[in-house]
């Protein structure tokens, strides 16, 4: 039997309009779609009615597929000759374990393609009116994850070095460790007056932005009951958000996990 193909497709950060043209084309043609929790369910409605929709939901505490199970699922369906879309939030190669999935496909001899997506790392600041670079305020930016405790001396992200060597820091998966991130950056020499923004559920109707400084953001985030998913932006560019904030969420539906589960077949 002919082996099918797998496309690792970036779904963008939430707003369905941020899916790429190539991504949409592949979703419409797919026999099987394996999707993540942060994918906008409206995109699944673009698939053929008979397409198999499989949730790989990585919801804390709930039933979820392990990474090896997801890899195996992709390989099994492709070997049955199917066109498989692996739909991942944002960009598949930005903190999405897309590299591991691609490796599993190579190992199994399954042909694949990668369709980059609009990462929340860029889109969340943009939808909050924050350019990650600006000639006046920032000539560099770094995107880091806070899945590990920043205060650990053996952390893979070298916070101490990043603190003062990069103008704009964009932190993903950082809400739960906000106070530790702030403390580490301040200890490493980033001034307490450095502006910070937290953009929650960016590019959806539920988008909210909380703005403060390294000195005030922990309290502000608590007061606003900030929750994941959120992107933390640290740096002078955050000052622009007041002037450039443009997004009102008009015409966008909010979406919740329940919605996504309901769409799996």
Catalytic annotation, residues: 36, 58, 173
Q: Which of 14, 16, 195, 212 binds ligand SAH (CB under 6 A)?
A: 14
CA distances from 260 to 23, 37, 40, 51 (A): 18, 7, 8, 15
Residue 231 lies near ligand SAH (rule: CB under 6 A): yes
Q: Which of 131, 130, 127 is nearest to 247 (CA)?
A: 127
Cβ at position 99, least distance to ligand SAH in Å: 11
Residue 236 backbone phi and psi in degrees, to 5: -60, -30
* Selected binder of ligand SAH within 43, 124, 166, 178 (CB under 6 A): 124
In the chain, what's the furthest Cα-to-Cα distance?
A: 63
Say how far apart CA 35 and CA 55 lie, in whole Å: 5
Min separation Cβ 94 and ligand SAH, Å: 4
Task: Give me the 58-97 binding string for ligand SAH, x by CB under 6 A, dash otherwise.
Answer: ------------------------------xxxx--xxx-
> CA 180, CA 134: separation in Å to the nearest integer?
27
Beta strands, E only, 14-158: 32-35, 52-55, 83-88, 112-115, 141-145
Selected range binding ligand SAH among 22-30, 56-64, 197-205, 253-261, rule: CB under 6 A: 197-205
User: Which helix (H) or strand (E) segment is 9 a member of?
Assistant: strand 5-10
Q: Which stretch binds ligand SAH (CB under 6 A): 107-115, 133-141, 188-196, 223-231?
A: 223-231
Please tell me whether residue 13 binds ligand SAH under the rule CB under 6 A: yes
Smallest distance from ligand SAH to CB 122, Å:
8
Q: What is the Cα–Cα distance from 167 to 185, expressed in whole angstroms?
A: 12
Q: Point out which residues bind ligand SAH (CB under 6 A).
A: 13-14, 38, 88-91, 94-96, 119-121, 124, 172-173, 199, 201-204, 228-231
């Amino acid at each position: 039997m002919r082996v099918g193909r797998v496309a690792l497709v970036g779904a963008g950060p939430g707003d369905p309009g941020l899916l790429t043209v190539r991504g949409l084309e592949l979703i419409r043609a797919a026999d099987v779609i394996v999707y993540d929790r942060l994918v906008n369910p409206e995109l699944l409605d673009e698939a053929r009615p008979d397409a198999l929709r499989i949730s790989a939901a990585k919801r804390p505490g709930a039933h979820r597929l392990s990474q090896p199970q997801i890899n195996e699922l992709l390989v099994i369906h492709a070997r049955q000759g199917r066109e498989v879309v692996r739909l991942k939030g944002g960009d598949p190669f930005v903190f999405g374990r897309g590299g591991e999935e691609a490796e599993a496909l190579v190992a199994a001899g399954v042909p694949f393609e990668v369709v980059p997506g609009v990462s929340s790392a860029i889109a969340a600041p943009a939808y909050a009116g924050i350019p990650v670079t600006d000639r006046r305020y920032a000539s560099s930016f770094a995107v880091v994850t806070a899945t590990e405790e920043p205060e650990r001396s053996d952390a893979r992200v070298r916070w101490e070095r990043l603190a003062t060597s990069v103008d704009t820091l964009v932190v993903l998966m950082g809400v739960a460790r906000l106070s530790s991130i702030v403390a580490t950056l301040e200890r490493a020499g980033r001034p307490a007056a450095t502006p910070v923004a937290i953009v929650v559920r960016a590019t959806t109707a539920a988008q909210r932005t909380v703005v403060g400084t390294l000195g005030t953001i922990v309290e502000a985030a608590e007061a606003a009951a900030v929750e994941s998913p959120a992107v933390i932006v640290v740096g002078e560019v955050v000052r622009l958000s007041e002037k450039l904030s443009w997004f009102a969420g008009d015409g966008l539906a909010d979406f919740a996990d329940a919605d996504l589960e309901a769409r799996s077949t």
